[in-house]
Structure 1
Amino acid sequence: MKKKRDNYPKDLRTNSKNTRGASHFYGFGVVVFFLLQFYIVFYVESILPKPLKLSDEISQPNAYIAERAQKHLKALTDLGPKVVGTAVNEQLARDYIYNEIKNIEGLASKKQLIEIALQKVSGSYYLDFKPHGFITAYNNVQNIIVKVKGVNATSSLLINAHYDSVPSSPGASDDGIMCATMLEVLRKLVVSDERPKHNVIFLFNGAEETGLQASHGFITRHKWAGDVKVLVNLEAAGNGGREILFQTGPSVSWLLNYYNKVPYPFGHAAGEEIFQSDIIPSDTDFRIFRDFGNLIGYDFAFARNGYRYHTKYDAFDNIALGTYQHVGENILTLVKELANAPEVDNPKNHGNEKIVYFDILGWTMISYSESTAMILNISVVVASIAVALISFKDFGVLNVLAWKNMQYLILTIGVILVGWLLSVPIAYAVACLLDVFENTMTWYGKPYIIFGIYCAPVFALTSGLFAIYNYYFKNNKLNKGVQSQIQVHLVRLIWTAILLVGTLFHIRAMYLIMIPVLINTLCFFIIKLLRLQFSTTKWQAIHFVGSSITTTFVMYTALIVLSLFVPITGRMGVNKNPEFIIGAISVFYTLLVTSYYLPLFTNLRKQSYVTLFLVAISGITFATIFSPVGFPYDGNPLAPTPQRFMVYHANRVFRNDSNQVVERDSGIFIFNMDRNAKRSISEYIKESASSKSLDIDCENYVGCGLPVPNLKTLTAMKESTWIPYEKAVVAEPVSLSLENKQNISENSVRLSFKLLGTAHMNIYMKPKDGVKIASTSLAKVSSDGLLFISYVHGDKAPLIFSIDLEVPSNWNSPLIDVGVVGKYVGNPSKSFQAFSSQFPSWADVINFSSSYESYVF
């Protein structure tokens, strides 16, 4: 009897010549290809436009001139740190900007109408940060405001940047270059004969670093604020590079239509979701305009090279001229477009929906609404499943009666998922191990180490499982080429399921998964259309080309995310292990990049060699990080990766419940800002031998009896350092006086206070058990726990305020504990300077003389 042949084409059968498999050197090639591709992505991402110089203005009179903006920044950074309350900020920086505006006004076209205003403003408000909000109060902070009047004088576009800086930094990127950009954009706008449709207001605000006060003063108190409809906020969280659009809206779709017209788009909705999750320990004026002005708009910032952010290294010389051109051309184009956009009149009547947006290597921006994303993502899910089912039918593996085929599909999915799920504890174990051996953040100064300690082990694990599975569990009906093709489909189906779930939960960042799924689906549709599914070499070539495209995009987003987060780990606090964050990011991106390639390893004759190659890379990396090469920090001005410290030379006064002084002391309080901080300097600070870890006594002393920067830092206090030291020299002692105590009702008492002292002060208030803060004159807020008030003033001005307390009937005991902190910028004592000089060259130290006084009322 003649034997019945199977239904598979010839090269699907196991005796086909392509079952022998390819050389394992192809696997090595894939790993090298990944590294080369990442380098190319890094290079492309760093490309900046050709900067224009003053000599180019003759041939391009309407173009943004980078060299002129650079001259503005040079003048601003030469002033040094510009801190609220100092003459440099309140006079010198203000006068420079104002005089340049007056010069620009003199160059304006006769068709333009310009008005300039100086604002000194006072106020207060509550910021609801997680996990603890606080009240910020301010007196006599300054704004410089320019209005270019439009044909329609009832609607205004606002462009904002701040000229103040933190005490330790000249503020080149944060935010001097944005002020320089605004000056050049203003110039180009007013020399034109074309008058804008809408007013364009330029706000140079003088108090952002102290709690976003000056922007609040403008939007709540200035006469021009009521006409503002759209905001362009310019900020920095890094130094140089390209400015990224990291927030837009909220929930206004048409804004991206205009940003799409800029020459160098750069932005990702994923970054917006990360920023708004409060993972990043900072905020911008955008929040103030959104929450207190009900504005919509854009939030831009420099994010590259965040090591320099808020340090002495944020200097003029570090910013390439191409950076000025990049931000300048983008903002000038955007401002011109918005200044004539009809949507500005009624900005919230043109699509109230969140937007998905992302750029492709800085070449173009893609954006669409959340509802469009829902339709697109679901369509991709359906197409992905359909293409997989059609392919499975071609291979005969959907026959439910062929149990071995179904078993093969189920087992393959299981192996893939097991590899992915095991990647998480592997990364977690690495993070814990490095922490136990006190060797965290080795990648901080050398990010390429991340590949060896996280990416390579994950890749080795998943590829190793594939090697074991393909060796011991084979479908004898299908050759290696078909098995690997089926595995690619199954990998895509798993990502398809994740895409579906993320879409249903309205996660806009799902485009990171949607694009690889879409391109892979299209590749296999082409393979099916051309009937190449039975030709191993040809289908793999198409798959490899498609995967290379998605890998480029995924690596590009990974570069952006890691470039942001790696420097941020240097200021996340000593109580958080940054390895967990970097490990989690690495696992996600490693799986997303490599999973589509792993099935190709099925065709390798010696898959285990590739796994061993990855293990060797990982082993060499681990050996390296435990050597001096793994030291994270560097003080090289050309490429600094500093370790950050906040150091307070503090005098302290403690009072008992009778408000009598019971103790006075002084010392050095070192607030450690990253995981390694406490141990990394112990050999440098000679006094640390007698130092002690702080035993937080927040029960007896409000605010822990220390000049704590803010409420967020309380959780890290146990790992900070207190060193007894000689008395600090403070120029303006802080004093808090109870001006009046009034019984408003049987269960309500009003306490009125007056606070005098230096330009930067904090107040901690904690009601006694049974007492509650019902309200304050500074902001509508109540609390039965710790209340924090931050106060700054541009000149000598007291803070006068009151609090209303809810008290039980017949209460005769003290009502509230109060701690007052004064921070003094500049002029540290010689002994404090001597102490600070002990820090190594790779440390960036912010020094404050300070005081703490406790009161009981």
Structure 2
Amino acid sequence: MTRNTRRGPIFSILLLSPILFYIPWLTYRHHSTLPDPLTQLVDPETNLPQLSEARVLSIAKYLSEDIGFRTPGTLEHARGEQWFFQQVLDAQKECQRVAESSGRKLECEVWLQRGNGSHRFDMMGARLYKTYVNLSNIIVRISNGTPEGKEHAVLVNSHLDSTLPTPGAADDAVSVGIMLECMRVLVETPGWSPEHAVILLWNNAEESLQDGSHLFSTQHPIAPTVRAVINLEAAGTKGKDLLFQATSEQMIQAYSHVPRPHGTIVANDVFGSGVILSDTDFRQFQQYLNVTGLDIAIVKNSYLYHMRKDLVENIEPGATQHMGENALALLRHLSSDTSQLPSLTGGYTKPTTVYVSAFGRFLLYSFTTAKIIYTLLFFASILLVKTAIPSVEKVAKDPSRSIRRGFFSALSGLLGSIVLANVVAVIMAQILGKKMSWFSSEYSTMVLYGPPAVLGALLPQLYIGEVEEAMVYSAILLMQTGVAVVVQFLGVGSACLLFLLGLSVFGGLLVNYVIGGSNQREMSLWTYAVGQVFPLAVGTMCAYPILDVFVPLAGRLGTDAPTDNIMATIVSVLGAISFPLIPPFIRRFDRSVLVRSVSLLSIVTAITIAVFAARDPYDSMHQKRIYILRTENITTGEHHLHISTSDGGPKFPELVQDIAKEFGVPPEIHENGDIEVFVPKAIVMNEYNSDWDPMYPFSAFLLPFKIPLPVEPSYVSPWSTPEMKFAITAVNDMIDREAGTRSLKLQVEHPGLIWTVIAFDAHVLKWNLDDNPPDEYTRHHVREASFYGTDTWSIDLVVKVEPGSTGSLLVNFIGLQEQGMWPGKKALMSQGNPGLALRLFERLDSWMDRRLDGKADVLLLGCVAGIERI
């Protein structure tokens, strides 16, 4: 079949270049543009209070840097609560002053809640039980002071604590400051009075697996008045705050009132699928209060998530302003007389609403509307394609065969793209041993896997034979619109992506028909100009946030995770969304163009493989995560370094070997003169590896090594002395032989230790952790978090005792030294005896920094462990 080749491929691409380059640039600009950060508390033009990023960051800086690492159970955690509670009391006084001086209906109530509790926390496919003692929350309720005004409330939540060990500026001190600043702005706004109450919850133990939010939800007297939740979080330090969970139509409607919406149903579907192994306090509010809400977080640059460099200096200017103004708008709307809070008294149902934010606009429509318009587009596409078929029948000997080849060409292009990108992933990770070479830049994955993805789309075209351009184009249109209908009828709102792609491709084919009728033998370039608009816009708008999340996430997916294949698949799918018209476009030209394109892309792919194979995955701002525990076993008297990592990047075993040589036991010289050097080897990680129980069940993702440490013969363990003894004992212990049961209180005493964990095997019939223990003999992990200075906790148990058995329990126990975390307790080095852990960590941290040139973030925790038969 002859072709009109007056416009060759290069000239054609040049004519399309305004579309191909402008749209990705425009979407990136929108994705990365933040509001100007405000410093003044009052708008100088309107004289009204305004949310000040400068004030929020000053609060975050004091919490994260002046007070420091606020891990639940530490002294710093207690100091953070004490300082912030005073800020809240000062805000309450200002509220009272404003109410009295203005006569407004305004009341601010404050609680410092304390309590004990327990809950089951299934995570990463594992079953874990949490217990907490004497933990606390800071709570404010702003209302109009009437019973009616307190009947329905919106809850906004953040957490005061940080995790092991990070200063937690973005996660979550920024959100803490935003909430306090929202309170100030609302109270000081003339005439503002809430129709419905606003509850501000600063919970004190999210990082110990959501204990603070559980405490509020299950024990606070005003919790039953909550109708909806806004949870503010951070998994990064840059960019716009992302709406990644919205659980009712009412709350999606509420979000439409924010000044800078940023979130789509795609993010909601991805997070809800469980693909991202993460969770927030939102879970507790859903489970125990049965309320709807919005989960919002800063997610860009999550390289610093739970890292030492989560500092105010690394928070992008404008990111705090963006989240704060959105949160403030939500509170204003939901507390107003137009709020739908009263309609949520009966709980909530899963939303059936499609929502998309684009270029500052927020579009939403119902699933019913989606089914109608998607179906209409599909049938309109069939009609349009049938109208275009006569032009093909005039040049094709077998029209039906040509149509089948069109579909095969389109499908093989999609599959070939995914397959070849994954082949390159295997080459990089398995053959060259250069796993995660793209890690230090979110968008470099497109450079590595983009060329093979396009090459994979073109290669099958060499073997399919002659196919009419219009048939491939039409096949893509029918597949996009048809799959959109099917997916939407399955209840998946993300079908809107396929609808938008199909709408643009439909428009391109319609323009082609209008321009040339049904007799043209080559499709107009206008077809591609129009047909590529929405795919490029949708694809790039999806690509930026998806890569922002998934590339840094690869650093904590586990050593065995096929991260290169995951990223290759993501890039190829995003490429198929952004450039669906590559297969028909290549059919415009002679076969020689296809052959040359394949050859050129093969060369480009080989070059990118070579370039990326020479790259180091890490640098000082995109670091490898390394976890090191210095554990003293008070049962055996042994001391070990336990070393692991959560990604499969190269050369980690070699690093462990060097650590063993530098810090482990010295070589042993035998009588015959032979020298025996300890060589660490990876050990099995499973639920019986109690060395890593402080990080259970996340520990399943780690690659563990174990190095014995030298200890002075004169060393006396403080954890075995009467004053500091770490002990597990049985209290009120009784065995009922007739019933075949043993009842006891398992009591844990842990002075100077925090985040203690016990693990044991038993068939538990009853306990006070929940009402539904597993009805089988199995392994149980129970993890504790308590307020600073609380050193005892317990579990009431009734376990099954088999005939002839003593019913004894073999209990593994481990805890973190409250004064043994580096760098959180670095200041203790100048205050007397810092202990074995800190003395080692000071040397080890400095050595690691030199050895890795600052390219690793090292978690250094002193632990005490043992085993007791009870």
TM-score, length-scaled by structure 2: 0.87
2:156 aligned residue:
159
Amino acid at match of 1:850: C
Q: C-alpha distance in 1, partners of 2:168/2:490? A: 40
- Tell me the CA shift for residue 325 of structure 1: 1.6
Indicate the percent of aligned positions where both proteins have the same amino acid. Answer: 21
2:504 aligned residue:
519
1:833 aligned residue:
842
Task: Kindly indicate whether the alpha-carbon contact (under 8 Å) linking 2:626 and 2:646 is maintained by their aligned counterparts in 1.
Answer: yes
Q: C-alpha distance in 2, partners of 1:458/1:142? A: 52
Change (3 A) 1:232 1:55: closer
2:769 aligned residue:
778
Change (3 A) 1:30 1:642: farther
1:557 to 535, 538, 542: 542
The answer as to 2:487 corresponding to 1:496 is no
- Tell me the CA shift for residue 596 of structure 1: 1.8
Change (3 A) 1:419 1:273: same
1:624 to 611, 615, 628: 611
1:590 to 572, 575, 580: 575
- Tell me the CA shift for residue 788 of structure 1: 1.3
Task: Kindly indicate whether the alpha-carbon contact (under 8 Å) linking 1:356 and 1:508 is maintained by their aligned counterparts in 2.
Answer: yes
1:681 to 649, 652, 655: 655
Q: Which range is displaced more, 46-55 or 222-231?
A: 46-55
Task: Kindly indicate whether the alpha-carbon contact (under 8 Å) linking 1:173 and 1:314 is maintained by their aligned counterparts in 2.
Answer: yes
SS in 1 for 2:202: strand
Change (3 A) 1:56 1:228: closer
The answer as to 2:111 corresponding to 1:117 is yes
- Tell me the CA shift for residue 573 of structure 1: 1.2
Alignment of 1:11-90 (within 5 A): 18=4, 22-27=8-13, 34=20, 37-54=23-40, 57-60=43-46, 61-78=48-65, 79-90=67-78
C-alpha distance after superposition, 1:465-492 (max 9, x if no partner): 33564xx425xxxxxxxx3233211122
SS in 1 for 2:259: coil
Amino acid at match of 2:214: H
The answer as to 2:598 corresponding to 1:611 is yes
- Tell me the CA shift for residue 31 of structure 1: 8.6
SS in 2 for 1:746: coil
C-alpha distance after superposition, 1:304-353 (max 9, x if no partner): 00001111111111123311221111111111000124421131669834
The answer as to 2:246 corresponding to 1:248 is yes
Task: Kindly indicate whether the alpha-carbon contact (under 8 Å) linking 2:755 and 2:784 is maintained by their aligned counterparts in 1.
Answer: yes
SS in 2 for 1:426: helix
1:801 aligned residue:
795
Q: Which range is displaced more, 271-280 or 295-304?
A: 271-280
Q: Which range is displaced more, 810-819 or 135-144?
A: 810-819
Amino acid at match of 2:175: M
- Tell me the CA shift for residue 738 of structure 1: 1.2
- Tell me the CA shift for residue 272 of structure 1: 2.0
SS in 1 for 2:126: coil
Q: Which range is displaced more, 252-261 or 102-111?
A: 102-111
Q: Which range is displaced more, 828-837 or 304-313?
A: 828-837
The answer as to 2:180 corresponding to 1:177 is no
2:811 to 815, 818, 821: 818
Aligned residues: 806
1:709 to 694, 711, 723: 694
- Tell me the CA shift for residue 514 of structure 1: 1.8
Task: Kindly indicate whether the alpha-carbon contact (under 8 Å) linking 1:139 and 1:797 is maintained by their aligned counterparts in 2.
Answer: no
Q: C-alpha distance in 2, partners of 1:855/1:377? A: 64
1:664 aligned residue:
637
2:217 aligned residue:
219
Amino acid at match of 1:450: T
1:442 aligned residue:
437
2:673 aligned residue:
none
- Tell me the CA shift for residue 134 of structure 1: 1.0
SS in 2 for 1:838: helix
SS in 1 for 2:847: coil
Q: C-alpha distance in 2, partners of 1:15/1:674? A: 53
- Tell me the CA shift for residue 504 of structure 1: 3.6
Task: Kindly indicate whether the alpha-carbon contact (under 8 Å) linking 2:410 and 2:583 is maintained by their aligned counterparts in 1.
Answer: no
- Cα RMSD of the aligned pairs, angstroms, is 2.8
1:380 aligned residue:
377
The answer as to 2:362 corresponding to 1:365 is yes
- Tell me the CA shift for residue 243 of structure 1: 0.6
Q: C-alpha distance in 1, partners of 2:787/2:718? A: 18
Alignment of 1:220-239 (within 5 A): 220-239=218-237
Where structure 2 has 5 or more consecutive residues not aligned to the other structure, the ranges are 663-676, 826-836
- Tell me the CA shift for residue 19 of structure 1: 5.0
Q: Which range is displaced more, 382-391 or 724-733?
A: 724-733
2:706 aligned residue:
722
1:485 aligned residue:
470
Change (3 A) 1:542 1:432: closer
SS in 2 for 1:541: helix
- Tell me the CA shift for residue 392 of structure 1: 2.0
Amino acid at match of 2:728: L
C-alpha distance after superposition, 1:701-745 (max 9, x if no partner): x7324133344345445x311111135977755211111322356
Change (3 A) 1:114 1:446: closer
Q: C-alpha distance in 2, partners of 1:633/1:673? A: 14
Q: Which range is displaced more, 487-496 or 743-752?
A: 743-752
Q: C-alpha distance in 2, partners of 1:387/1:680? A: 62
1:791 to 777, 784, 789: 784
Task: Kindly indicate whether the alpha-carbon contact (under 8 Å) linking 2:214 and 2:284 is maintained by their aligned counterparts in 1.
Answer: yes
Task: Kindly indicate whether the alpha-carbon contact (under 8 Å) linking 1:244 and 1:303 is maintained by their aligned counterparts in 2.
Answer: yes
Change (3 A) 1:525 1:37: closer
Q: C-alpha distance in 2, partners of 1:15/1:846? A: 66
2:830 aligned residue:
none
- Tell me the CA shift for residue 48 of structure 1: 0.4
C-alpha distance after superposition, 1:337-384 (max 9, x if no partner): 001244211316698342444444451122233333333333333333
The answer as to 2:335 corresponding to 1:339 is yes
Q: C-alpha distance in 2, partners of 1:714/1:159? A: 31
Q: C-alpha distance in 2, partners of 1:30/1:750? A: 77
Task: Kindly indicate whether the alpha-carbon contact (under 8 Å) linking 1:84 and 1:759 is maintained by their aligned counterparts in 2.
Answer: no
Task: Kindly indicate whether the alpha-carbon contact (under 8 Å) linking 2:623 and 2:856 is maintained by their aligned counterparts in 1.
Answer: yes
Amino acid at match of 2:555: G
1:641 aligned residue:
622
SS in 2 for 1:390: helix
Change (3 A) 1:691 1:832: farther
1:189 to 165, 168, 186: 186
Change (3 A) 1:407 1:707: closer
- Tell me the CA shift for residue 293 of structure 1: 1.2
1:736 aligned residue:
728
Change (3 A) 1:224 1:680: farther
Task: Kindly indicate whether the alpha-carbon contact (under 8 Å) linking 2:448 and 2:609 is maintained by their aligned counterparts in 1.
Answer: yes
1:693 aligned residue:
681
Amino acid at match of 1:774: L
- Tell me the CA shift for residue 223 of structure 1: 1.4
Q: C-alpha distance in 2, partners of 1:813/1:29? A: 84
Q: C-alpha distance in 1, partners of 2:551/2:20? A: 21
SS in 2 for 1:140: strand
Q: Which range is displaced more, 19-28 or 459-468?
A: 19-28
Alignment of 1:1-20 (within 5 A): 18=4
Task: Kindly indicate whether the alpha-carbon contact (under 8 Å) linking 1:164 and 1:207 is maintained by their aligned counterparts in 2.
Answer: yes
1:509 to 471, 485, 494: 494
- Tell me the CA shift for residue 542 of structure 1: 4.1
Q: C-alpha distance in 2, partners of 1:96/1:286? A: 22
- Tell me the CA shift for residue 157 of structure 1: 1.0
Q: C-alpha distance in 1, partners of 2:459/2:7? A: 17
Task: Kindly indicate whether the alpha-carbon contact (under 8 Å) linking 2:685 and 2:699 is maintained by their aligned counterparts in 1.
Answer: no
Where structure 1 has 5 or more consecutive residues not aligned to the other structure, the ranges are 1-13, 475-482, 655-662
Q: C-alpha distance in 2, partners of 1:697/1:320? A: 38
Task: Kindly indicate whether the alpha-carbon contact (under 8 Å) linking 1:51 and 1:322 is maintained by their aligned counterparts in 2.
Answer: yes
Task: Kindly indicate whether the alpha-carbon contact (under 8 Å) linking 1:264 and 1:362 is maintained by their aligned counterparts in 2.
Answer: no
Task: Kindly indicate whether the alpha-carbon contact (under 8 Å) linking 2:128 and 2:781 is maintained by their aligned counterparts in 1.
Answer: yes
Change (3 A) 1:541 1:351: farther
SS in 2 for 1:488: helix
TM-score, length-scaled by structure 1: 0.88
2:552 aligned residue:
567
SS in 2 for 1:514: helix
Amino acid at match of 2:288: F
